[in-house]
Amino acid sequence: MINVGGLELKNPVIAASGTFGFGREFSEYYDLGRLGGISVKGLTLEPRMGNKTPRICETPSGILNSVGLQNPGVHEFVRTEIPFLRQFDTKIIANIAGNSFSDYEQMAEILNDADVDAIELNVSCPNVKDGVVFGQDPQLLEKLTRSVKDRFEKPLFVKLTPNVTSIVDTAKAAEAGGADGVSLINTLLGMAIDIYRRRPVLANNTGGLSGPCVKPVAVRMVHEVYRNVNIPVIGMGGIETGEDAVEFIIAGASCVMVGTANFADPLACIKVIDGIEEYMEKMKIKDVRELVGSLEFN
């Protein structure tokens, strides 16, 4: 067992939000109880249809996506998806997104009364009131974190966006607001152009970059944040193998999330879990905790 900000995990691998739905499809490929946890598709207060298609574009060693938070809404999640997920011995992390303080606060209250194990605050969305992205403004982020923390008794993680000048500043803001941990990185804002049509490939024009191409950026950010905050860090960005996961753990992550890798290989999370075990056996390490942040600079 590892404890990440009060969340007890049987292993350090969690399925990343938006790449795993509510687990239903993957439950046809393996027992979801093998996972440390599942961060579900980003939830909003009301159901959302999401963006127009194309919503995906392959890029060198990765993808751009612009799903636009299509989801059935938090109420439907509580009604039908939690009971489904509870059949499996794994932790349920509710990933939530909103466009106002009130959106987030209402969802926190609803989820406080529901059977979830933690909240992951997706703050990559703009606050409609002033157009500023919550996760890009440290003061706004601290305030938002505090107001969700006041309404939700279980562990709260803030998912940091890499689209900032200093991720340390936003990580510290989350910590000051009372977050039990931070998870990073969300996708990097990008664009791809169809040169024959001279138009963006994605219907939404821009999208979020993920997959192996973002891994070095993510590892660097995880390490910077690890050195500067005292709450646990959940690392992600391009993890495909146990070795990739170990790299994040050495950089300072207490556990990891696996996202885009699930697309090419539905068994990716299981392979990462097994790969970490193999590494530990080979290196004669008994407890992953020994590895966390064990990086030594040259």
Partner 1 sequence: MKTNYLCRVEELKRLTDTIWLLELDASNIREDIKPGQFFHVKCGEGYLRRPFSVCDFKDGMLRIAFEEKGRGTKALARVKQGEYVDVLGPLGNGFDIGYDRICVVGGGIGVFPLLYLLNKSEGSRKDAVLGFLCKDKVVLENEFENSCDNLVIACDDGSYGVRGFVTTALEKHLEKHDFDIVYTCGPSIMMKKVYEICKKHNIPCQVSLEERMGCGIGACLVCVCEVKKENVLQNKRVCKDGPVMWANEVYYD
Ligand X SMILES: Cc1cc2nc3c(=O)[nH]c(=O)nc-3n(C[C@H](O)[C@H](O)[C@H](O)COP(=O)(O)O)c2cc1C
Please, are residues 259 and 268 in contact by the beta-carbon 8 Å criterion? no
Please, are residues 38 and 257 in contact by the beta-carbon 8 Å criterion? no
* Sites for ligand X among residues 25-44 (CB under 6 A): 41-42
Site pattern 107..146 for ligand X (x: CB under 6 A): ---------------x------------------------
In the complex with partner 1, which residue's Cβ is closer, 177 or 208?
Answer: 208
Q: For residue 295, give Cα distances in angstroms to 37, 181, 221, 280.
A: 25, 20, 14, 16
Q: Which stretch binds ligand X (CB under 6 A): 64-72, 146-154, 246-254, 277-285?
A: 64-72
CA–CA dist 272, 278 (Å, integer): 10
Query: Rounded to the nearest whole angstrom, what is the least distance from the CB of residue 46 to partner 1 in the complex?
Result: 15
125 is catalytic: yes
> Amino acid letter at 26?
F
CA–CA dist 234, 293 (Å, integer): 12
Question: Tokens standing for 36?
Answer: 């440390």
Query: Rounded to the nearest whole angstrom, what is the least distance from the CB of residue 187 to partner 1 in the complex?
Result: 13
Q: If we measure between CA atoms, which residue out of 88, 1, 79 comes closest to residue 47?
A: 79
Residues that bind partner 1 (CB under 8 A): 18-21, 24-26, 28-30, 41, 49-50, 53-63, 65, 67, 70, 211-212, 260, 262-267
Select the binding partner of residue 54 from ligand X, partner 1, none (C-beta < 5 to 8 A, by kind).
Answer: partner 1
Select the binding partner of residue 57 from partner 1, ligand X, none (C-beta < 5 to 8 A, by kind).
Answer: partner 1
**Sign, CA torsion 239/242/245/250:** negative
Please, are residues 12 and 254 in contact by the beta-carbon 8 Å criterion? yes
Interacting residues with ligand X (CB under 6 A): 16-19, 41-42, 65, 67, 69, 95, 122, 159, 186-187, 210-211, 214, 236-239, 258-261
